[in-house]
Structure 1
Amino acid sequence: MVIALLESALFAPFGAAFMLRALLGGVLVAALCAVVGTWVVARGMAFLGEALAHGMLPGVALATLLGLPPVLGAAVSAAGMSAAIGALSRRRLSDDTAIGIIFAGMLALGVIIVSRSRSFATDLTAILFGDVLAVRADDLALVGSALAATLVIAIAFHRPFVALAFDPAKAATLRLRPRLARTVLVGLVTLAVVASYQAVGTLLVVALLLAPAATARHWTHRIPQQMALAAALGAVWAYAGLLVSWHAGTAAGASIALTAVTGFLASLALRPAVVALRRPREHPVPAPRPGKVIP
């Protein structure tokens, strides 16, 4: 009886086609974001992912008004943001400053376009947060194609990315072209955000880009293992978040995002205890008795 109830609670929701597509979409996005997010966390580029995810609003709004695919507008906006950030960075502005300025400008422009367009039929909340339960087959194909391309690029640029993340000066000395590697990495972040946002929304993209990769970094220092662990964690959290959404009647994307953040915080709290258990116990040295010398 108990087993039957557990099976019903854990697996019955995915008998619905839309829930199964949502789970598949979450798993694909988790894998894509794990590959890119590992480098984002290692390089300290978290703010870039957030800025790209929400700075796409002007392009999405204009594309919707013109009857074009929103993902096309998102791609144009994200590419424009990446180029503008790179241009400002070359003028001796810090990356955070350049990203913050462009992000604020793009988001403000998007809100103005939406507020001035009375015929705008798409809810601003839907643009920013999406609906993972509305994932379609073509969304899955897009994310799957982006994942394949990302894996190829990540393998090809593995050495330059490692050098860029840990020692940019050495990367230049070894002629690994750190500037090109940085441009390619920004391009991968852009690809991950653009390919995933329409399927799962920007909130979930940012959560899966950062939380699984940051959690995996607690447990292993090898990049391939971090990517694999982050992908597995992201998939598990997508499954758990969808279950919470189904049984509690909450927003699916937000439920998955909160599950991912909760998992990260739990890992952060658990790691010191695990490290302490793994550390060999140090046997106290007995105090010498008077008149005796310990050799």
Structure 2
Amino acid sequence: MPAPFDLPFVQRAVVEIALLAVGSGILGTWIVLRGLSFYAHAVGTAAFPGLVLADGIGFSPLLGALATAGLVAVAVTVLANRGRAEYDSVTALVLVGALAAGVILASDVFHSQGSVERLLFGSLLIIDSTDQLVAAVVGVLVLLAGAVLGRRWLAAGFDRDGARALGARSPLPDLVLLALVAASAVAALDAIGALLATALLVVPAATTRLFVDRLPAWQVATVALVLVEGVAGLWISVEANAPPGATIAVVGGGVFGLAALARFARDRRRVGQVATA
């Protein structure tokens, strides 16, 4: 294997990226399609009070983050369906409450610092088998839920009110989607951090969406792009001694910028061809 991929901890990180790519890539397409990008970013950040509690009391940070993210998903679903509000506005309200609770707990109750900061920003090079197991389980759940509820998610994505009028009134499919996004963000905590989860959940899907129209092809392309960007960012971070999570996020942002420029150039060329025809 080429350096630095001959190192055991780098190999574990590559396996983690591959496992995260399945759930993050597929969910990313639904996030972009349903306009849940802000929620995907917020749900990881809103896990902050759970991380503080776990650090202060002494139980697994993963369990604390998962419990908090689950509560956020339920709260957003209930408020959005009862008040007919948009997900972004409801998510903002829940996020503010969660962050306020986390700040109070961190500063006045537990005085948490180091370990919580690691979970907020990630540390891909020190993940263990538990992180890999969680990522694998989330990936399987995403595949199963997509096969069962994909049509409902698609219908609600194009016309939420119209889908309700046709009989799709149950909030359960949306709750499952939001819960899976929350679980995927939590699965990426140790790898890339709560604050950078959108580098896996949103940016690659937004990039491939510029060139792919059909949902199955979009999902396959996004999974592949998450894997490629993750491995490339990991390699750069090891060679440059930079934080892996932040490096992967920078790589993803750079690829999106280049893809947007390529799409713009292609559209301009097509317009010119039509004008001269």
TM over 0.5: yes
Which moved further from structure 2: 164-173 or 228-237?
A: 164-173
Q: Which amino acid aligns with 1:184?
A: V
Per the alignment, residue 146 of structure 1 pairs with 138
Q: Deviations over 1:213-257 (max 9, x none)?
A: 001111111111111111111111111111211221111110011
Q: 1:233 matched to which residue of 2?
A: 225
Cα deviation, 1:70-123, whole Å, max 9, x if unaligned, reads 111111111211222233322344322221111011112112211124564643
Please say if residues 160 and 178 of structure 1, whose CA atoms lie closer than 8 Å, have aligned partners that are also in contact: no
- Is 1:207 aligned to 2:194, yes or no? no
Structure 2 equivalent of residue 87 of structure 1: 78
Q: Give the gaps of 5 or more residues in structure 1.
A: 1-6, 286-295
Partner of 2:121: 129
Question: Which letter does structure 2 place at the counterpart of 1:79?
Answer: G
**Counterpart position of 1:62:** 53
* Distance (Å, rounded) in 2 between the aligned partners of 1:123 and 1:69: 11
Q: Which runs of 5+ in 2 are unaligned?
A: none
2:229 aligned partner, one-letter code? W
Output the CA distance in 2 between the equivalents of 1:91 and 1:201: 32
One-letter amino acid of the structure 2 residue matched with residue 240 of structure 1 = A
Q: 1:107 to 1:119 in 2, by over 3 A?
A: closer
Pairing partner for 2:150 from 150, 155, 158: 158
User: Which residue is equivalent to 1:175?
Assistant: 167
Relative to 1, partners in 2 of residues 1:163 and 1:251: Cα closer, same or farther, differing over 3 Å? same
Matched residue of 1:13: which SS?
coil
Matched-pair contact (CA < 8 Å) for 2:192–2:246: no
Q: Which moved more, 1:148-157 or 1:174-183?
A: 174-183
Q: 2:44 aligns with which of 49, 53, 61?
A: 53
Corresponding residue number in structure 1 for 2:18 = 27
Distance 1:67 1:124 in 2: 12
Corresponding residue number in structure 2 for 1:71: 62
Structure 2 counterpart of 1:265, one-letter code? G
Checking the alignment, whether the CA contact within 8 Å between 1:78 and 1:190 is kept in structure 2 is yes
Shift of 1:196: 2.2
The 3-state SS of whatever aligns with 1:14 is coil
Which of 233, 240, 243 is equivalent to 1:248? 240
Contact persistence 1:140–1:199 (CA under 8 A): no
Q: Does 1:193 align with 2:170?
A: no
Contact 1:55 1:107 in 2 (8 A): yes
The alpha carbon displacement at 1:63 in A equals 1.8
Give % identity.
Answer: 32
Whether 1:267 aligns to 2:271 is no
Greater RCO, 1 or 2 (C-alpha within 8 Å, sep 6+): 2
Give the equivalent residue in structure 1 for 2:215.
Answer: 223
CA deviations 1:27-79 (Å, max 9, x no partner) are 22122111111011011111111111101011111122222111111111112
CA contact (8 A) 1:58 1:77 kept: yes
1:280 CA displacement: 9.7
Aligned-pair distance for 1:200? Answer: 3.0
Bigger CA radius of gyration: 1
Q: Residue 279 and residue 28 in structure 1: after superposition, are their counterparts in 2 closer, same or farther (change >3 A)?
A: farther
Report if aligned partners of 1:49, 1:193 keep a CA contact under 8 Å in 2. Answer: yes
- Scaled by the length of structure 1, the TM-score of the pair is 0.86
Say which SS state the counterpart of residue 265 (structure 1) adopts.
helix
Supply the distance in 1 between the matched residues of 2:102 and 2:71 (Cα, whole angstroms).
14
- Opposite residue 39 of structure 2, the aligned amino acid is L
Segment drifting more, 154-163 vs 115-124:
115-124
- The structure 1 residue matched to 2:5, chosen from 14, 19, 22, is 14
- Number of aligned positions between the proteins: 276
Change (3 A) 1:204 1:121: closer
